[in-house]
Amino acid sequence: MSHTIPKVVATVAQLREELRAARRAGRKIGLVPTMGALHEGHLSLVRAAKAACDFTVVSIFVNPSQFGPNEDLTKYPRTLEADLALLAGCGTDLAFVPTGDEVYRAGHATWVEVGSVAEPLEGTCRPGHFRGVATVVLKLLNMVQPDVAYFGQKDYQQALVIRCMAADLDVPVTIRVCPIVREADGLAMSSRNRYLSPAARQRALVLWNSLQLAGRLVAEGGRDVHAIAARMRELIETAEDARIDYVAIVDPETLRPVESIVGRTLIALAVKIENTRLIDNCLLEP
Ligand code: PAF
């Protein structure tokens, strides 16, 4: 395992200079876009990039345009030194850590709006979120021009929005989506987990427990989405102060609600615990 801190560049010009040699040598370039506060979930993406590519770039940029006015932009964890140490441990070749002004230069006026898959679920709860995500991801793809870009399934809808954007705009990149990484007790890893007090961290297990409950109900032959969602809600509401944004049982390609579970189905949920908004999901195949 390499323990060399990756080279860090902050400007697009430096980034392109570093990538020129790799590209000239015919190296396959992998990009892992992140907002920092790295955890095992991110590192699994870096490892996937390392395994399939010859040169791995990780971007660390807390993208202001994907946060709503009352969201956690200012308190979002910024842990650059620790992030670089973790990236060293998995052999990242280059870290791209731009400033806000480098990404959104004065006069920036172009935005990417993705259609129907960006509308429900997170799109409804966080208006403008996917416009910010799609715009920054397209910019990062244009800056790095990777062969492959890696995203986590925990942000299932985000990955779908990015796939749709890349396909619709003919971006020459392969989008890879890697499985959710969970703590030993099942909580999906997230940079926002660090906001939770120890007691709230325990209560947050209701997200995973409710997904497991849904899995059991389907395995026992349950097909009625309303009954399954009701049981999930009931379980989540046993956690003191849990506030449900949505429990959705939907088609995994269109994100439209399904009436009964007949084929591959996505169950996605967003719940606030102690004011921290957590999301999780699972794909079921009856
Ligand atoms: O998933 C994230 O961390 C962010 O939404 C992303 C893809 C890095 C864009 O800012």
Query: What is the amino acid identity at position 98?
Result: P
Percent of the chain topping pLDDT 70: 99
Evaluate: CB of 155 within 6 angstroms of ligand 1.
yes
Q: What is the DSSP letter of 89?
A: H
Q: Give tens-digit pLDDT for 154-180.
A: 999 999 999 999 999 999 999 999 999
Evaluate: CB of 63 within 6 angstroms of ligand 1.
yes
Other C-beta atoms within 10 Å of 30: how many? 28
Sequence-distant (≥ 6) Cβ neighbours of residue 144 within 8 angstroms: 15, 19, 29, 31, 57, 59, 96
Contact criterion met (CB below 8 Å) for 30 and 45 = no
For the chain, first and last CA: distance in Å?
40
Report pLDDT for 256: 98
pTM as predicted: 0.97
Contact criterion met (CB below 8 Å) for 271 and 243 = yes
For ligand 1, pick from 57, 122, 126, 136 the residue to mutate: most ligand atoms within 8 Å of CB.
Answer: 136
How open is the CA angle 37-43-47, to the nearest 5 degrees?
A: 155
Q: Give tens-digit pLDDT for 229-256.
A: 999 999 999 999 999 999 999 999 999 9
Rounded CA-CA distance 46/57 in Å is 9
Evaluate: CB of 133 within 6 angstroms of ligand 1.
yes
Evaluate: CB of 136 within 6 angstroms of ligand 1.
yes
Collapsed DSSP state (helix, strand, coil) of residue 2: coil
CA distances from 227 to 154, 176, 247 (A): 24, 33, 12
Name the token pair of 25: 């040598």
Report pLDDT for 4: 86
Rounded CA-CA distance 81/98 in Å is 15
Mean pLDDT computed over every residue of the chain:
97
Q: Give tens-digit pLDDT for 92-110.
A: 999 999 999 999 999 999 9
Rounded CA-CA distance 255/267 in Å is 10
Report pLDDT for 286: 84
Q: Which of 3, 42, 108, 226 is catalytic?
A: 42
Q: Is 42 a catalytic residue?
A: yes
Please report the DSSP string for 198-266 in residue order.
Answer: HHHHHHTHHHHHHHHHHHHHHHTT--BHHHHHHHHHHHHTTSTT-EEEEEEEE-TTT--B-SB--SSEE
Query: Could you tell me where the DSSP H helices lie in the chain?
Result: 12-24, 40-52, 80-89, 100-103, 122-125, 129-144, 156-168, 198-203, 205-219, 225-236
